[in-house]
């Protein structure tokens, strides 16, 4: 199929899609019966496991106690029977390598029995540990390519589940991924280690307040996932979208998002059908999806689950991303998770709503009605302020990528400066501690009169939200808004846990020392909070994060502003970062250095791939269309001269000028790619791609986008923004 016919077919397909899946018969299957039906959750464990095995397993899951290897064979046998009842023939240990994506290797549950048949085999050893070839995954120099052995290890705190396919099902076991030498090669292992560190230090603080719990104290997370949906035919007609996940060319449409009519608008029928089926698949997997709506940009949407424990929330977000991609195909759609698929309109993020607590304590970031007298909350909140001020640069590094660089700092996402928004009420409370005049009063919730007789007065929050802040307090949690749509949130969550563990350790040390010196707990808490606010209040900013004034003010305050990935990634190897992660037992110096190398390498590869695409599309698709149009215009001039009339078009002059500029820009891009270093200092390589290749790509695009607005539409092969974004 030619590109032109693909473009035409895409437009026609928009109104003629045929979903592959039949509607659910709600007379036979109730929505509530679907939830968790493909998960080996507590309900399944309680029903199927012997009571003593169930209790032992729950101690590991709930209290973090070591798994008794003696129960593994029984658990594996029960999981095997459950999976086979659901049609599974294979199992896989699902893990998150340092590519940031999900990885899995499928092994068969069925083994020949020697008598012409098969038996199902799945032992405790097979459940607990798997083996995968680790040579092709990024290791940042931790291993040579000929050293291949890697191990997957069962994460018992995350339930096994069944994935369905039109041709069968398979059992998925959430796992960690380690090298033969024990080096961390994944994103889950550091997260689980950071959970342990957070639990240890949070319990120290809580014990000073006389608070105990039988459950570990850990992170809660809620991940709002933004994404774009476009017609699948447009994806195949746009090599840049197909390979890079974003448009490398494209003139702005006559209408973008300036009317604000997309946000929370009525969801188009085709999209709503997709959403309903995606949610149905997620319900089966126990993902508590709560919200769906149109986002701000045309063809942009959001899905958000309820709050969950941090580890489960990360696993579920990976499942959400995979499900969105797979279900979209059934409706002839392409799900784009890139942070900036289209220039000139909002990109996509993944807001990480973060809190600390457990099922017994609730969230420790809950201020209550009188936060000024809630000492426990004030200590935990102050610890967050200190953490972000001390380690904001490192937190920025965890969301650094070539794709997220296009979004951070634009007028749809927070700036690259890590700051905290507290709102009027908490800012007032902490200011009282800073100046040493604690009045015991704070701003309260006001009653909002709607002016409609049938409605009672409504309670308004004591402060408004700030959508320009990267880390905003939103009532009972902090919302970290800098995570990119396509990124695994495991890295940022690990960083938040580790930072908080360090600050809670500082707080516990301070309070214990003051109490040992004879101070009361109240006086010790007041001195701690006063100290933290005096030393770290520079990170608090309640104003407009988009303003130039804030960037100047942030520099005056000494806050880092890493605008690009090459600026941010070196934070991984800063002495204070290494000291933090090693002290908390999360990652060692070698593992952090490996992440530094891997992220820079991924940045270079991403930009080089996009640059190659710009050159190829420019030379083989755009330039030929321009030449043909120039030929038509020139032929018109010649034909007019043949009949004795002088005829020269301004369009021909413009197209010719833009063509030559684009030709020069393509030449400069190709020459720059030839000079790009491929060996040596990884940071120098990344800086070259950032400072030389990206501007060269931008120059090509500038002239190509001008040409799109001049060349005859029937000669322009690439589907336009108007067609892609507004074709529902």
Domains of the chain in start order, with CATH, are: 35-186 (3.10.20.70), 196-247+259-448+457-587 (3.30.590.10), 602-726 (1.20.120.1560)
pLDDT reading at 230 higher than 90: yes
Supply the Cα-derived Rg of the chain in whole angstroms: 28
pLDDT at 337: 97
Average pLDDT, the chain: 88
Q: Is the model's pLDDT at 4 over the cut of 60?
A: no
21 pLDDT more than 70: no
Output 63 or 243, whichever has higher pLDDT. 243
In this model, does residue 7 exceed pLDDT 70?
A: no
Spatial contact of 391 and 430, defined as CB atoms under 8 Å apart = no
Residue 361 has pLDDT above 90, yes or no: yes
pLDDT, residue 411, reads 61
Averaged pLDDT, 413-440: 80
0.85 surpassed by pTM: yes
Q: E strands of 321-440, at which residues?
A: 333-336, 350-358, 362-363, 420-421
Q: Are 398 and 100 in contact (CB under 8 A)?
A: no
What is the per-residue pLDDT for 184? Answer: 86
Compute the distance between CA of residue 498 and CA of residue 383 in angstroms, rounded to an integer.
12
Q: Using CA atoms, how far apart are residues 135 and 83, in angstroms rounded to an integer? A: 30
Which of 110-114, 117-121, 454-458 has the weakest average pLDDT? 454-458
Mean pLDDT of 174-187: 84
Q: In this predicted structure, what is the pLDDT of residue 6?
A: 58
Cα distance between residue 549 and residue 547, in whole Å = 5
Q: pLDDT tens, 119-128?
A: 778 888 888 8
Tell me what percent of the residues of the chain surpass a pLDDT of 90: 66
d(CA 606, CA 618): 18
pLDDT tens digits for 651-682?
A: 889 999 999 999 999 999 999 999 999 888 99
d(CA 320, CA 322): 5
Residue located via tokens 């000291």: 579
pLDDT at res. 1: 43
Among 35-49, 167-181, 458-472, 586-600, name the one with the lowest average pLDDT: 458-472
Rounded CA separation 418/540 (Å) = 9
> Is residue 641 predicted with pLDDT exceeding 50?
yes
pLDDT band at 456 (very low <50, low <70, confident <90, very high): low
In this structure, the number of other CB atoms found within 10 A of the CB of residue 496 comes to 28
Residue environment code for 279-305, b if the CB has 16+ CB neighbours within 10 A, otherwise e: bbbbbbbbbbbeebebbebbbbbbbbb
Q: How far apart are CA 71 and CA 124, in angstroms?
A: 8
Q: How far is CA 27 from the centre of its chain?
A: 37
Which of 254, 257, 240 has the alpha carbon at shortest distance from 297? 257
Whole-angstrom Cα distance, residue 192 to residue 627? 58
pLDDT score for 642: 72
According to the model, what pLDDT value does residue 648 have?
66
SS3 462: coil
pLDDT at 86 exceeding the cut of 90: yes
What number is the average pLDDT over the span 95-111?
Answer: 87
pLDDT value at residue 424: 83
DSSP 370-398: -GGG-HHHHHHHHHHHHHHHHHHHHHHHT
Contact call for residues 268 and 286 (beta carbons, < 8 A) = no
DSSP 180: T
Cβ within 8 Å of residue 289, ≥6 positions away: 279, 282, 283, 303, 304, 305, 320
Residue 675 structure tokens: 């000079």
SS3 per-residue string spanning 269-285 = HHHHHHHHHHHHHHHHC
Of the candidates 367, 372, 338, 347, the residue with the CA atom closest to the CA atom of residue 355: 367
């Amino acid at each position: 199929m030619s590109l032109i016919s693909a473009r035409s077919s895409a437009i026609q397909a928009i109104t003629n899609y045929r979903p592959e899946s039949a509607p659910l018969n709600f007379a036979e299957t109730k929505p509530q019966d679907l939830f968790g039906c493909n998960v080996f959750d507590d309900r399944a464990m309680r029903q199927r496991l012997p009571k003593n095995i169930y209790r032992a397993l729950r101690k590991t899951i709930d209290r973090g106690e070591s798994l008794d290897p003696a129960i593994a064979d029984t658990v594996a046998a029960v999981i095997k029977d459950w999976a086979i009842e659901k049609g599974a023939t294979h199992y896989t240990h699902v893990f998150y390598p340092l590519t940031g994506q999900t990885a899995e290797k499928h092994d068969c549950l069925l083994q020949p029995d020697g008598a012409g048949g098969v038996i199902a085999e799945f032992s405790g050893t097979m459940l607990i540990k798997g083996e995968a070839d680790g040579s092709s995954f990024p290791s940042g120099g931790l291993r040579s390519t000929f050293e291949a052995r890697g191990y997957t290890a069962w994460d018992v705190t995350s339930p096994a589940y069944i994935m369905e396919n039109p041709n069968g099902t398979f059992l998925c076991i959430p796992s960690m991924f380690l090298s033969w030498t024990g080096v961390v090669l994944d994103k889950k292992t550091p997260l689980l280690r950071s959970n342990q560190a957070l639990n240890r230090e949070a319990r120290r603080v809580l014990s000073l307040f006389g608070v105990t719990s039988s459950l570990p104290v850990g992170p809660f997370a809620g991940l709002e996932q933004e994404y774009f949906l476009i017609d699948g035919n447009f994806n195949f007609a746009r090599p840049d979208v197909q390979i890079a996940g974003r448009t490398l060319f494209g003139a702005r449409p006559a209408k973008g998002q300036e009317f604000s009519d997309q946000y929370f608008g009525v969801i188009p029928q085709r999209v709503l059908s997709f959403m309903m089926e995606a949610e149905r698949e997620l319900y089966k997997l126990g993902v508590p999806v709560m919200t769906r709506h149109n986002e701000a940009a045309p063809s942009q949407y959001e899905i958000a689950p309820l709050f969950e424990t941090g580890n489960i929330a990360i696993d579920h977000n990976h499942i959400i991303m995979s499900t969105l991609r797979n279900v979209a195909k059934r409706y002839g759609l392409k799900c784009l998770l890139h942070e900036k698929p289209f220039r000139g309109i909002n990109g996509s993020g993944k807001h990480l709503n973060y809190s600390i607590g457990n099922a017994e304590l609730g969230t420790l970031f809950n201020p209550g009605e009188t936060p000024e007298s809630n000492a426990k909350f004030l200590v935990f909140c102050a610890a967050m302020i200190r953490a972000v001020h001390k380690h904001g640069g490192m937190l920025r590094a965890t969301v650094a990528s070539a794709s997220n660089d296009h979004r951070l700092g634009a007028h749809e996402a927070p700036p690259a400066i890590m700051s905290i928004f507290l709102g009027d009420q908490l800012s007032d409370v902490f200011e009282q501690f800073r100046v040493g005049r604690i009045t015991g009063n704070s701003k309260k919730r006001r009653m909002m009169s709607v002016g409609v007789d049938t409605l009672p007065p409504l309670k308004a929050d004591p402060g408004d939200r700030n959508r320009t802040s990267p880390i905003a307090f939103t009532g009972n949690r902090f919302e970290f808004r800098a995570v990119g749509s396509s990124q695994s949130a495991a890295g940022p969550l690990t960083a938040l846990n580790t930072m908080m563990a360090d600050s809670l350790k500082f707080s516990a040390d301070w309070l214990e020392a003051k109490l040992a010196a004879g101070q009361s707990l109240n006086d010790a808490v007041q001195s701690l909070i006063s100290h933290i606010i005096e030393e770290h209040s520079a990170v608090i900013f309640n104003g407009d994060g988009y303003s130039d004034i804030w960037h100047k003010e942030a520099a005056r305050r000494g806050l880092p502003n890493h605008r690009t990935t090459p600026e941010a990634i070196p934070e991984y190897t800063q002495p204070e970062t290494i000291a933090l992660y090693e002290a908390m037992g999360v990652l060692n110096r070698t593992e952090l250095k490996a992440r530094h190398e891997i992220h820079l390498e991924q940045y270079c590869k991403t930009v080089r791939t996009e640059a190659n695409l710009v050159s190829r599309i420019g030379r083989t698709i755009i330039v030929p269309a321009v030449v043909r149009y120039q030929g038509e215009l020139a032929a018109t001039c010649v034909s007019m001269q043949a009949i004795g009339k002088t005829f020269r078009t301004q369009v021909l002059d413009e197209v010719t000028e833009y063509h030559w500029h684009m030709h020069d820009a393509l030449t400069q891009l190709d020459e720059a790619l030839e000079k790009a270093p491929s060996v040596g200092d990884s940071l120098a390589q990344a800086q070259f791609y950032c400072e030389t290749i990206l501007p060269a790509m931008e120059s090509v695009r500038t002239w190509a986008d001008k040409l799109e607005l001049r060349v005859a539409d029937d000669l322009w092969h690439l589907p336009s923004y108007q067609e892609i974004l507004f074709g529902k």
